[in-house]
Structure formats: structure tokens, C-alpha cells
Structure 1
Amino acid sequence: MIDVFKDLIKNDRQKRLFEKAERISEEAKDHLKETDRDAVFSAKTLKVIKQESYPSLTLPVRYGGEDLSLYEFLLLQEKIAEGDGAVALSIGWHLGIMMELKDDQLWKADQFDRLAKEVAEEQKVVNRAATEPATGSPTRGGVPETKAVRKGDEYILTGRKTFTSMADHLDYYIVSAYVDDLDKVGWFLVDRHQPGVSVEKTWDTLGMRGTESDDLVMNEVELNVDDLVEVKSEGKPSPKGWLLHIPACYLGIAVAARNDAIEFAKNFQPNSLDKPIAEVAHIQDKIGEMEWKLLQAHSFMYSTAKKWDAEPHQRKNMGAELAAVKLAVTNTAAEVVDLAMRIAGGRGLSKQYSFEKYYRDVRAGLHNPPMDDAVVSMLAKRAIE
């Protein structure tokens, strides 16, 4: 079987980092049944993630991180997703956010310094909490109903956030809110142990159940003024290369489905045949189709990541390119998983195999930002202009 990662690992550093992702991937795979059944994120997997110092990898070297390039970040994320896409997507948000804060310098130096040190020294984990029932995806521009009201040297924060991946396992939340006295949207760093903060178990979805993306509830949470770490700017947002962790995750799921489908085809021989189905023409056609789709997806995603890393002066112009990668790769991943299901046939629907889980999980990629319609519209307008 072709190892899709062999040609992607370029040097000893990447090999060493990749081995961390391999160990996390194997641990995550061991807990698939219970995490998918119970819609929970495995504490045992998180323990291994922290033992591998994975949360600090995108931090600068001066903090004890590895200053991961985007290419390396995607490589590791894809490998973890091969074990369990839900784990990769969940921890990917943390690593991507730390990369964003480092590269874009969105916070004051002392605010970032404080969080970065805790991540490096204690492997603490953070995620943004932005989505709300009424606003839908924050990329659509809705104003948060979560509200922060100034009272002297404090802000009182009240609201509810949905889709908070790893909600009950995070150390900090970066919460978006309408800031009353500023008449702007801002972001607050909220400690999970702060009085008034709770998690409500609401996660009951078809796929990506292991992200444990429950609701975060804030009931008159008292915060210091310094906990307001960002205020939304009026200008056009800069392209965010780290968001390619999303297509990397779904590509990893597709690779896992492809691997299982080939193993199935090599070992399944119905009594109507004198050979395994891997030797049947129409099955080979499907395997070949999976291969060229994966080759295209890997080439597009990793060449874009290389460009991001090698040409920082071009990053401001890469918004459409990044969005196109997300659209192309997540849709391709869904197509590859569908082909794997067709190879497995009716057995692919059985809980005895992983195919039905891949099928459910990979669908979630279509609903992560940016959405397909927004990308297509962006590309059309750029072409017309």
C-alpha cells in the first residue's frame, strides 16, 4: 500500500515531529468507539497530546515551542485525523489560534506572553467560542448576542456559545461579545474556572461527535478590563493560513477510508469469485479514482502551504487561494470516502467497520468555514473584476 505521507516528510525535523502526531493518532484510534458513541473527547487522548507537548508546537522557540511552519502543521494534523478526525479538528483549533496570535500580533505583548507561557509550561489548551444559535457561523458577519457590560474596572459577560469544541476540556475560552461601552465586537480571555462559567451538554450530531462541541454558558461572569484581549477592527480581515487545518483534517479522514477500503478489497472474496475483489476491474477503477483525487488534493493543499511559508510578503493576496483549497479538499475528501463506501458495499454501513463513521465525519467539512457558496462567490467576483 502506498504511504501517502512518505513523500511529504522532507527532513529529520519533520520526521521527529511527525512521530508525535503518529503517537497521538494511535491513541485517538484506541478510543473511537466510546468517543463516537458518547459524543465525548477522550481525556486519555488529551493526556497523550500534552505528553507530546503538542499544544505548544506552534509557539515561538523562545517560549519552548517548535515554531511550526504551516506545511508542518498540516502534515501533523492530517496524520492525527487518520486516527480520528474529531481529535485532529479539536486540537487543530488550539494550535491554529496560537499560530494566528503569534503571526498577526492581535494581542498586546504582555497578554500574549502570559498565555503563551502557560501553554508552553503547562500545555494548557484554548479555543475561540464564537458561534451562537441566532448568528450561525461568525464568518457570516452576525453580531454576537453575548454581551459585555462595563462596571468600573470590570466587564460583566453574559451569553451562550455553541459548537465549542472540547468545551469541557479547555483551560481558557476566547469569547466574542458585543462590548457595550465601545459599541464594538470584542474578544475576552475567560478562565474555565471563573464563577458563572459552565458547559451544557448539547452535542448530539451525526458526525464529528468526538469533538464534544457542547454549549458554553456565561452567566454574569466578572472579568477584568485586561481580559478584553481583542477588539474587532473595521478593515478587511487578513487571510488566515492556519485555517487550512480544516481541509487537512478531512483529508486525513479520506486517507484512512482509502486505506481501509484497499485492505477490505484485498481480503474480501465472496464465494461467487475465485479471487479477492481487489482484482475485479470496477473495484480497481474505484481505487484508481481515489488515488488521483487524493494526489490532486495533497498537491493543491501542500503547495499552497509551501507558498505561504516561503513568501510571507504574498500572504495578504492569498485569501482566495486559501478558500479554494478548503472548498476543493473537503469536497474531494467526501468523494473519496464515498468511493470507499462503494468498495465496501453494504458492509460499509455496518458498525463493525469504520466506513460509516468516516462517511458521517467527512460531511462536517462542508459546514466548517469558509462555506462553499461564499468561496464560489468570492472567486467569481475576483474573476469578473
Structure 2
Amino acid sequence: MGEGVTGRERLARAALTRVIEPGDEHGGRWLRELGAVEVLRRLTSVPCEEGALTGASEQRIQGFRIRAVKAEPERDLAAVEAVGGRFVVPGDPEWPTQLDDLGDGRPVGLWVRGRPDLRRWALRSVAVVGARACTPYGAHMAATLASGLAERGWVVVSGAAFGVDGAAHRGTLAVGGATVAVLACGVDVAYPRGHAELLERVAQQGLVIGELPPGAHPTPSRFILRNRVIAALTRGTVVVEAEYRSGSLVTARAAQQLGRFTMGVPGPATSGLSAGVHELLRGEAVLVTDAAEVAELVGDIGDLAPPRRGPVLPRDLLDPASARVLEALPARGRSATGSDIARDAGVTVDEALGRLYELHSLGFVERHGEDWQLTTGAIRRPNARRGGT
């Protein structure tokens, strides 16, 4: 329990998770101005205090009052404790203070399953999100990115949905890494049902968290609002496959608004599942292709990805003069005299012959009487002059 968080405050916030929908800024303002205990008192007072809560319609406040009267916070706290969980609120040592960047839209509190400390994990975390109906390429990239980040000591955060989310969690678990599943329902609810076993593994090895109390079920709007928590909790968000109308793009845009890093994994230009990612990349998002590039962006100074280049070929190691002489030899197995080669290379005959003997010892050329020609291996090697790279 955190210093400054009283038992009454915690109990009131637990009750209000059944009353105020995630992201409701009117409720957030009431909490900021009045405190949870007073907000709950005004919602449950009989008779109703006129004008007790401002900014929302009377009809909406009546809906809040109906929910508040039915709330049983002691029962919810016991239910989360029964599954090895807890309820974390602002002011607790475990509360991730980066969620405060959401302003009045921050969570009332977080229901948490799992042993690790949420605040410590969130300080070094990256979100990996994307399409539910992803391609094999998307699943592969999500799992590879997640496992690579986990091996570098990063916590992988996602939403436990089918597709990219599930692949990210599994990729992390496969290497014994740290992962957090942010749900749009109660932390004791297996949703989607097909991920019941996966969620159990995440709860045992990592953390399962959510804003909604035990037993609460998801709705379309709760999925969308859940994404702001994923964005705020992490240092950056990586999107792996997304159509133009994708919930993962909501996460990415929320990350941008919060000043977090936004990254995208490119895909085929012909794939509708890459269209949303490519649109992000046309804006402020950064293109990434592996965990090293993600870590370079979100990590500490000096945490650089290795330089990218093609394979080093034997001819790349030649000095400029020898390379120039080699380039002067004709292609397709034809031969030339030393003087012809010297002329085309722009060197003296003596220098050309000296370089040719050196190239002969390295296996690039062979001699036929007074003529020289490329060896079969040298002809097959890429050559910029003859259209290679």
C-alpha cells in the first residue's frame, strides 16, 4: 500500500472502476477536484444533492448513480486477490506515473495480476501492436521483434488480441522475457477465449492489467480506450501490420500525442494490411525492421543498432589501383594484352603488369601467353562496371 493512499480512498476508487468508464474526462476531473471518497459519496447520497457533480448531463449522472449504488468494492478486491492480483492506484509506489500524462483521462486505478512490480517494468517497456487478422509475415515479425527486445532486457507490452498481439506475447515468453497484457476487460476474464492459456502464461511469467474490475467484459469502445493505456505506459509503440481503420493505429496516434516514439514495420505495398503502417511512416513514425533498431530509438544514448551493409566481397578489399586494372579486363572470358589493359586503366604498362601478377596470385585473372583474362570466379562476382552492385 502506498503512502498517502488511505484504505477509504482505495476502496472508493475500486468502486468507481464500476461506475466511470475508462478515459471519461468528466469523472477524471471530479476525482482530481474532489477525491475519490467525495465523488463516491455524492453519487450515493440520498437524497441526491442537486448540482453535486458538474459537466455531465443529468441523465448521465443518474446512470453513474445507478452503477455506484450497485458497486461492491470489497467483493471486487477479494476477487482479484483470489486470482493472485491487486488493485494499484495513483499514489502507490507501484503506480506508473507516466500514466499521469493522460491528464483527466488517466485510469481510476489498475487491476493487476502477476508478481512483478508494474512501475519498474513500465519504465523500460515497448508496445508491439498490430492487426488481428495478420499475415504469416506479420506474426513472424511481431514474434521476432518481441523476442529480440526481451533478450535486450525490454518489457514487451501488447493487448493479448489474436494476430500480432498474441505473436508478440508468445515471442517474449519463448525466450523467458517480460511481457504485459493490457486488457479491455477484467483481469480474471479470458478474452479472447482462444487466448485463455496464453493469458495464464502471461500472468505467471509477467503481468496482466486492466482498468475494469473483476468479471467485467469488453465492449468495442473499451478496446479503443484501452489503447491509450498501452501508449502511455510505454516508451514507444511499434505497429506491425495495420489497415487504414485499425485499432493499433489508435495506439500509435495516442503515443504521438503523448510524445512517445512511434515506429512501423514496412510490408508489401500491395498489402492492405500494410497500408495503415505505411501511412504512419509517411508521417512522423520511424521505420524499423528489427529489435536493434527499436532499442536504438527508445533506449539510452549509445544503444546503437549495428551498421547495415551488404556482404564484403573479395574485390572490395583490393586497393584502388588494382581494382582499376581489374575493371579494365574485358568480360565474358575474352582476353586482352597488358598494353590494352594499361590504356583502359589509365596506368603505365609496367604498373598494369605488376597489378596483373598480383591479381593472378589472388585468383582474379589468368594468363594465356601475352594475354590476360578474368577467371570464371571473377566473371561471376558482381561488378559495377558490368551492371552489378
TM-score, normalised to structure 1, is: 0.22
